[in-house]
A = this chain, B = another copy of it.
Amino acid sequence: MSAPLKNDVLLRALLRQPTERTPLWMMRQAGRYLPEYRATRAKAGSFLAMCMNPEYACEVTLQPLERFPLDAAILFSDILTIPHAMDLDLAFEAGEGPKIGKPVRTAADVDALFVPDPAKELKYVVDAVALIRRELGGRVPLIGFAGSPWTVGTYMVEGGGSKTFARIKGMMYGDPKLLHRMLDVVTRATTDYLNAQVEAGAQAVMVFDTWGGALAPAQYREFSLQYMARIVHGLTRERDGRRVPVVLFTKGGGRWLAEMAATGADALGVDWTTDLADARAQTAGKVALQGNLDPCVLYAPPAVIREEVAKVLASYGHGHGHVFNLGHGIHPDVNPEHAGAMVAAVHELSPQYHR
């Protein structure tokens, strides 16, 4: 039905199959550091308008591929599409981050939640996936994504970003059953949403657990990891005769990698606070690993970027199953040429680890 995939290095690496070099992409590769992204953003009028318009979403998704020889496209969207689809009044205020106008704090608020129909409330995302897939023409695979239920839940309960997660943790310790009820709805919504992305053409999916690292170990297991595991089990894992790899990423979750691997995910994202050698030892070949250059390395001169790329590659070491990435999203004030230096260094330095 669609064009054959010309570059499947990412998909093979995510399944720990042999590759001739280490594939790479960048979290938030379609982002503000690119002038062409800022131009589309200006045309669209707002961040949310850009997310909700499949043409714009497709345009910015493809932009970084025009600049750099990356091995994947990632759907341009936001982790808060689900609360938006749940009518919780999402807005992005300039310089303030996301706001949820109708936060979820009481039993009545949780009762009012529903599982959005991806074909209806989230149709704009599904349409974007299909359009991007068509426009990619098989150049590289397309990654779909969603936030983890815990992470999306923090915004739903706090009403926006938070440093301390006081409200959701107050609910977690004070009324854990209520929080579980909320996370259950978000988990079902997320599973349907990711499956709709796969159905529309996403060839791998990633779950971003940006705030799981703020939890104590027992709470991480109970309120974040458990729900990510349910998503992994509910996902369509094969499509068009090919396995659809699933990647879990908990920022600050470096001590929990073995437990994350036990969910059955194919790969784990690793941030820069954990060495890949350590991550590899913890996960003992059960999963591929994706990461983990400190995004701030891209502020340094290209020669330093090359050295730091070399260290990340050496830390993973010989063998397959490594997807090079930043340890978090690329910062908006990074010089695109520095991103290019990173990409070039991975292309140049990684083949030796695959011989």
- Residue A7 at the B interface, CB < 8 A? no
Per the bound structure, the CA–CA distance linking A304 and B219 in Å amounts to 14
A299 touches B169 (CB 8 A): yes
- Residue A308 at the B interface, CB < 8 A? yes
- Residue A84 at the B interface, CB < 8 A? no
A300 touches B170 (CB 8 A): yes
A175-214 near B? 1/0 per residue, CB < 8 Å: 0000000000000000000000000000000000000011
A299 touches B255 (CB 8 A): no
8 Å CB contact of A164 from B170, B173, B311, B331: B331
B165 touches A296 (CB 8 A): yes
Per the bound structure, the CA–CA distance linking A308 and B219 in Å amounts to 11
Stretch in contact with the other chain, from A19-27, A118-126, A228-236, A271-279? A271-279
What is the minimal beta-carbon distance from A202 to any residue of chain B, in angstroms?
Answer: 29
Instruction: Indicate whether A274 sits within 8 Å of B173 (C-beta atoms), given known contacts A166-B333, A252-B252.
Output: no
8 Å CB contact of A294 from B216, B278, B294: B216
- Residue A215 at the B interface, CB < 8 A? yes
Instruction: Indicate whether A215 sits within 8 Å of B308 (C-beta atoms), given known contacts A294-B169, A296-B166, A296-B170.
Output: no
Among A172, A215, A296: residue with most chain B CB under 10 A: A296
Per the bound structure, the CA–CA distance linking A296 and B213 in Å amounts to 14
Measured as residues with beta carbon below 8 angstroms from the partner, the interface class of chain A is 35 or more
- Residue A301 at the B interface, CB < 8 A? yes
- Residue A52 at the B interface, CB < 8 A? no
What is the minimal beta-carbon distance from A279 to any residue of chain B, in angstroms?
Answer: 11
B300 touches A217 (CB 8 A): no
- Residue A153 at the B interface, CB < 8 A? no
Chain B residues closer than 8 Å to A217, beta-carbon distance: 273-275, 278
Chain B residues closer than 8 Å to A166, beta-carbon distance: 296, 299, 331, 333
Chain B residues closer than 8 Å to A252, beta-carbon distance: 213, 252, 273
A303-318 near B? 1/0 per residue, CB < 8 Å: 0100010010000000
Chain B residues closer than 8 Å to A165, beta-carbon distance: 296
- Residue A295 at the B interface, CB < 8 A? yes
Per the bound structure, the CA–CA distance linking A172 and B308 in Å amounts to 12
Chain B residues closer than 8 Å to A220, beta-carbon distance: 273
Chain B residues closer than 8 Å to A4, beta-carbon distance: none
- Residue A74 at the B interface, CB < 8 A? no
User: Could you jot down 11 A-B contacts, CB within 8 Å?
Assistant: A164-B296, A166-B296, A166-B331, A169-B294, A169-B299, A170-B300, A172-B296, A213-B252, A214-B273, A252-B252, A255-B255
Q: Sorted from nearest, which 9 A-B pairs have the closest CB atoms?
A: A169-B296, A170-B299, A173-B300, A174-B300, A216-B272, A217-B275, A173-B297, A216-B294, A173-B304
